[in-house]
Amino acid sequence: MNKIKILLFVSLLLAITVGTATASELIDETEHEELIELGKQIFFDDDLSTPKGQSCASCHHPDVGFADPAQSRAVSQGAVPVRFGNRNSPTAAYAAYSPDFDYNETEQMYIGGQFWDGRAIDLAEQAKGPFLNPLEMNNPSKLAVVQKIIKSDYADLFEKVYGEGALDNVEEAYNQTAEAIAAFEMTDEVNRFSSKYDKSMAGEVKLTSQERKGLKLFNDPKKGNCAACHPSTAGLYSDKPLFTDFTYDNLGVPSNRGMMGDSPELMDYYPFYYPPIAPIFNPDGLDYVDYGLGALTGDDEMGMMKVPTLRNSAVTPPYTHNGAFMTLNEVVNFYNTRDVGEWPAPEVNINVNRDELGDLGLSDAEEDAIVAFLETLTDGYEET
Ligand code: HEC
Ligand code: HEC
């Protein structure tokens, strides 16, 4: 064999061994079986809030693409029922593929991180947030969380993974809790890549003609131009399409109040707007403006949010950072007609992307085809 042939042979062997060990690109699942099981137990444990009753899965449930099953509200309800967050729960699936938050000198832009504004550098950092967030799981301290884990039925597993006495050191145990969750979030169970679109790429099913038309419009820079930010092909971060490039943009999405008016549903999650509950968590109440990444980095990024994956979006309404849109049709219609239709003003009216969206000139049938294509991105597709 010449050198090239040997190289090819070796890489084929490698591909076969790696391929059979685990399909995941993020973690060797056979090597970290117990760590992953621990992370899963924590992710689904609804004793880990104060009061009890809320887990990570409460807002990131596998039945709805790891997003919030309560879909009629723009934002999520906390463990304390009168409290609501300021943002819409994104899917926790495929988040593991986001690179660490960083400024990319070549591209001259911020890329990656977790949350809509990238404020957590990676998954483990992200997972430390919700337990202590008064609008989410509302525990008073790290100690309180670790004490709950000590009482859980997976406390033994925790010590098996991290060593005897691991739960005695609160700071370290809290970090390990987050690390275990992150390990679970890296698995094939969370990142399934099992949509109709995946199966069509593998040649196992055929997209309908409407879905194929939607895909074409989605990719075409002169039509939907969606793939410019939501790539439909493999990229830097995965050998399968993620439908996000993890960059940041301001689409000019209206505030949720702008979209819904002062409807009872909206008032429902600004309860602190009314006395006697003190407006301590969101003092701006209904006038809250979300500056996204710019609140952390400065004027050039005001209003910018991280591009979300579109995988499972058909089952994860509402949409965008503030949940202002309730249906995919509405979102696509917004991209198509933002600058020529009747839309409320952008929530943050600076840095709005006027080059790539706003007046796409799509017909109703073309909008529908794009939505039909988005509906092929739901995991767990089975031919009927
Ligand atoms: C009360 C609902 C709620 C709970 C409980 C909750 N989350 Fe979230 N999650 C959200 C919201 C809202 C955001 C977006 C917040 C933001 O951008 O500031 C989010 C963001 C995330 C992200 C970032 C995804 C991305 O693409 O940037 C991940 C990952 C995540 N949550 C995992 C978790 C884990 C792990 C837990 C449990 C420790 C958890 N969440 C508990 C509502 C919740
Ligand atoms: C310039 C980059 C860019 C382009 C082009 C783009 N998007 Fe987006 N998309 C984003 C960003 C950024 C967000 C989040 C905006 C926010 O939360 O304010 C988003 C959000 C979405 C959402 C909401 C997802 C969720 O889970 O909340 C959908 C659906 C969507 N885009 C579909 C599309 C479609 C369809 C097209 C083409 C018609 C498109 N996008 C073109 C950047 C882009």
The rounded Cα 359 to chain-centroid distance in angstroms is 27
Report pLDDT for 261: 72
Place of tokens 């309730």: 326
Cβ of residue 321 lying under 6 Å from some atom of ligand 2: yes
Task: Give the integer Cα–Cα distance in Å for 243 and 240.
Answer: 9
Report pLDDT for 103: 97
Report pLDDT for 262: 67
Task: Give the integer Cα–Cα distance in Å for 222 and 356.
Answer: 9
Tell me the CA–centroid distance for residue 320 and ligand 2, in Å.
7
Residues 193, 379 contacting (CB under 8 angstroms): yes
**Of 46, 136, 185, which is best to mutate to test ligand 1, by the most ligand atoms within 8 angstroms of its C-beta?**
136
CA distances from 262 to 8, 269, 343 (A): 64, 11, 16
Atom of ligand 1 nearest to the CA of 123: 29
Find all residues with CB under 8 Å of 241, minimum gap 6, and list them.
197, 231, 232, 233, 234, 235
Report pLDDT for 76: 86
Tell me the CA–centroid distance for residue 308 and ligand 2, in Å.
7
The pTM of this model reads 0.92
- Give the tokens for residue 324: 């202002």
Report pLDDT for 72: 83
* C-alpha radius of gyration, the chain, whole number: 22
Atom of ligand 1 nearest to the CA of 117: 17
Task: Give the integer Cα–Cα distance in Å for 260 and 272.
Answer: 18
Q: pLDDT of 8-35, one tens digit each?
A: 444 444 444 443 445 689 999 999 999 9
The rounded Cα 16 to chain-centroid distance in angstroms is 31
Atom of ligand 1 nearest to the CA of 94: 26
Atom of ligand 2 nearest to the CA of 218: 37
Query: What residue's CA is closest to ligand 1, atom 32?
Result: 92
Burial class (CB in 10 A: 0-12, 13-18, 19+), 10: exposed
Q: pLDDT of 243-293, one tens digit each?
A: 999 999 999 999 988 887 766 666 655 544 443 343 345 556 677 899 999
Q: pLDDT of 123-153, one tens digit each?
A: 999 999 999 998 899 999 999 999 999 999 9
- Give the tokens for residue 376: 């092929």
Task: Give the integer Cα–Cα distance in Å for 47 and 57.
Answer: 12
Mean pLDDT per 10-residue section of the chain, whose length is 384 residues: 44 41 81 98 98 97 96 85 86 98 96 98 98 94 98 98 98 98 98 98 97 98 98 96 98 88 63 41 71 97 98 97 95 98 96 97 98 98 84
Q: What is the dihedral of CA 124, 128, 130, 131, to 10 degrees?
A: 130
How many other CB atoms are there within 10 angstroms of residue 259's CB atom? 23
Task: Give the integer Cα–Cα distance in Å for 87 and 92.
Answer: 14
- Give the tokens for residue 227: 């793939």
Query: What residue's CA is closest to ligand 2, atom 5?
Result: 226
Cβ of residue 76 lying under 6 Å from some atom of ligand 1: yes
Of the listed ligands, the closest to the CA of 145 is 1
Cβ of residue 242 lying under 6 Å from some atom of ligand 2: no
Residue 277 identity (one-letter amino acid): I
Query: What residue's CA is closest to ligand 1, atom 40?
Result: 56
Task: Give the integer Cα–Cα distance in Å for 16 and 10.
Answer: 10
